[in-house]
């Protein structure tokens, strides 16, 4: 049977309107697969594709490799895409200042952040007019991210894959809790 017009048009949400995408779908940063080709494919399909900075910005080129990947993505899509910057403790600390500098210089409009102590990165991105979506595994982390300037919060329960939550709360419960306790839009 034919679908109603309401079902066939774009799905409008705060997310779609804020970042300029057709569908409320974010690829999210994914280590070892978040390259330009995947980000462009998601963006071309109407979602928000994401290049994963920590996958790309590795020695010897570091942040300049991220610049190359961003430029490659720009050739593959004319749609919005973003960059994920995950702030995790690792053996060799990434050049976060260089990553943020490249993101700003390349005109990226949306950054997904994740991990601990995002305040310095969020402040730098916000001062450049970049939309920041911070990924959190607990509402208390989301409250901190909102307080330091995140525009949206991505709540990711332990069932979202790859997110080591401290409290083992599933995504649907976490989203309900976030809706009650956060003023910032949570997705």
pLDDT per residue as tens digits for the range 91-100:
778 899 999 9
Locate the domains of the chain by residue range. Answer: 5-134
- How does DSSP classify residue 62? T
Residue 139 exposed, middle or buried by CB count within 10 Å (0-12, 13-18, 19+): buried
Q: Give Cα separations from 187 to 39, 135, 151 (angstroms).
A: 19, 9, 11
Q: Please state, in angstroms and rounded to a whole number, the distance separating the CA atoms of residues 151 and 148.
A: 10
| pLDDT of res. 91 | 74
User: Of 76-80, 151-155, 179-183, which range is least confident?
Assistant: 179-183
Q: What is the CATH number of domain 5-134?
A: 3.20.20.70
Average pLDDT, the chain: 89
Q: Please state, in angstroms and rounded to a whole number, the distance separating the CA atoms of residues 114 and 28.
A: 10
Residue 13 makes CB contacts below 8 A (sequence gap 6+) with 24
User: Of 44-58, 95-109, 171-185, which range is least confident?
Assistant: 171-185
| pLDDT of res. 158 | 80
Q: Which two tokens stand for residue 99?
A: 């990553």
| pLDDT of res. 167 | 73
**Residue range 81-107: mean pLDDT, rounded:** 92
Q: Please say if the pLDDT value at position 3 is more than 50.
A: no
């Amino acid at each position: 049977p034919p679908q109603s017009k309401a079902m066939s048009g774009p799905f409008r949400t705060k997310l779609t309107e804020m970042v300029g995408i057709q569908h409320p779908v974010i690829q999210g940063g994914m280590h070892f697969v978040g390259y330009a080709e995947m980000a462009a494919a998601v963006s071309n399909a109407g979602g928000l594709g994401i290049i994963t900075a920590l996958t790309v910005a590795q020695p010897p080129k570091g942040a300049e490799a991220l610049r190359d990947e961003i430029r490659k993505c720009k050739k593959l899509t004319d749609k919005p895409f973003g960059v994920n910057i995950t702030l995790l403790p690792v053996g060799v600390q990434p050049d976060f200042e260089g990553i943020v500098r490249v993101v700003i210089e390349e005109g990226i409009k949306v950054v997904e952040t994740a991990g601990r102590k995002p305040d310095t990165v969020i402040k730098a991105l916000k001062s450049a007019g970049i939309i920041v979506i911070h990924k959190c595994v607990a509402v208390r982390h989301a409250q901190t991210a909102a307080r330091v300037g995140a525009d949206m919060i991505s709540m990711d329960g332990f069932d979202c894959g790859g997110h080591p939550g401290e409290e083992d709360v599933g995504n649907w419960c976490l989203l309900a809790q976030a809706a009650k306790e956060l003023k910032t839009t949570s997705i």
